[in-house]
Amino acid sequence: MDFILMTEGDTPVGLTHEHRYRELIEEVLLAERVGFDAFGSSEQHVALGATSVAAHPAREVWNG
Q: Specify the number of domains making up the chain.
A: 1
Q: For residue range 8-38, what is the model confidence (pLDDT) as tens digits? A: 877 888 888 888 889 889 999 999 999 999 8
**How many degrees, rounded to 5, is the angle at CA 58 between CA 30 and CA 18?**
95
Query: Structure pTM?
Result: 0.60
Higher pLDDT, 8 or 52: 8
Residue 1 has pLDDT above 90, yes or no: no
Kindly give the pairing relationship between strand 38-41 and strand 4-7: parallel
State the DSSP H helix or E strand holding residue 26, giving kind and residue range, or none if neither: helix 17-33
Q: How far is CA 55 from the centre of its chain?
A: 8
Residue range of the domain that includes 24: 4-61
